[in-house]
Amino acid sequence: MILVTGATGNIGRELVHRLDELDVPFRILVRDPARAATLPERAERVVADLSDPATLPPAFAGVDRLFLLTPGIGLDHTRHAVAAAQSAGVRHIVHQSSFNVLGDPMPAMGRWHHEREQAIRASDIPATFLRPGGFMTNAFDWLPTIRQAGYVLDPVGPGRYAPIDPADIAAVAALALTGDGHQGQEYVLTGEELFTITEQVKILATAAGQEIAVRAVTTAEEAVASRFPQGAPPALAEAIIEGFHLMRADTAGFRTDTVERLLQRRPRTFAAWCARNADAFRTT
């Protein structure tokens, strides 16, 4: 039995649908069953909360493989999940981490994910670590300024990166959960196309059939708002600003061939993602 945490998020939803296609037994841990209403009916639902260890035993009962995605910047959710996994006899954890753990020196975002990885390693449960770069779905964070004034805030200027479709992350996760030879592996996942924000916005505007301007951020607050439109706690805001500073300096960009090597196909393109989601960005 596979247990999926984060099942209602960008990656989790894709993973649940992929596991359903593979016709393997799986269960989803949800805090709010209503948010899982559109997920496959075959998915067994268990209401639990990673912040409350007392709720976890029913979710983990009979589970031998775990997809672990923990929200926020703290370590408690990971510790609680690992303890429940140990008690239940879980034999393999596939953990959603971040490519930021590769930084030298490691940025704050990387340190938080590194601590989670270390907590899993300390459990002695065999694990696979997925370390994706930026998500294509982060473009949804541009919606408030697009809808309000027709522009996207750009915090990284000439910096380039290779955004990945969460569906590709989910496909790799499904492979690791259901296949052999993935325990002990660390997979750094990116798309294959390197973009500046301006180049991404141009592709999105073409897909949406409307003009979308790009405006450079002028304050730290605008930089944070470009990624977290509703704001972020101080520690996370500082980490986001640090991350954007590093991205701005990386004008060559970073990408891997891991998705293609594992899935035996090329990663999904940003243009294809924009075509699938164009309606969300149309303002007329």
Give the pLDDT of residue 69: 96
Confidence band for 282, pLDDT divided at 50, 70 and 90: very high
Q: Indicate if the pLDDT at residue 109 is higher than 80.
A: yes
What 3-state class would DSSP assign to 205?
helix
What confidence score (pLDDT) does residue 50 get?
95
Confidence (pTM): 0.96
Rounded to an integer, the average pLDDT of 190-213 is 97
The pLDDT tens digits of the residues spanning 130-153 come to: 999 999 999 999 999 999 999 999
Q: Which amino acid is at 142?
A: W
- CB of 16 within 8 A of CB of 4? yes
For residue 127, what are its two tokens?
């694990």
Is 3.40.50.10420 the CATH classification of the domain at 2-134+164-189?
no
Say what the pLDDT of residue 104 is.
86
Is 200 a residue whose pLDDT tops 90?
yes
User: Longest C-alpha distance within the chain, in Å?
Assistant: 55
Quick one: pLDDT at residue 111?
94
Mean pLDDT of 213-236: 93
What are the Cα distances from residue 16, in Å, to 23, 38, 170, 183, 224? 11, 11, 8, 21, 31
Residue 129 confidence (pLDDT): 98
Q: Residues 189, 130: contact at Cβ < 8 Å?
A: yes
DSSP bridge partners of 4:
28, 67
pLDDT of residue 215: 97
Q: Quick check: 2 pLDDT over 90?
A: yes
φ, ψ of residue 117 to 5 degrees: the values are -60, -40
Banded model confidence at residue 21, pLDDT cuts 50, 70, 90: very high
Looking at the DSSP bridge assignments, the partners of residue 27 are 3, 44
CATH 3.90.25.10 fits 137-160+192-253+269-281, yes or no: yes
Q: Please state the domain extents for the chain.
A: 2-134+164-189, 137-160+192-253+269-281
Residue given tokens 């003009």 in the structure block: 211
Q: What average pLDDT does the chain have?
A: 95
pLDDT for 226 beyond 80: yes
- DSSP per residue over 94-154, as a string? EEE--GGGG-SSPPHHHHHHHHHHHHHHHTT--EEEEEE--BGGGGGGGHHHHHHHSEEEE
Res 225: pLDDT: 93
Kindly indicate the confidence band of residue 71, based on its pLDDT and cuts at 50, 70 and 90: confident
Q: Which amino acid is residue 57, in one-letter code? A: P
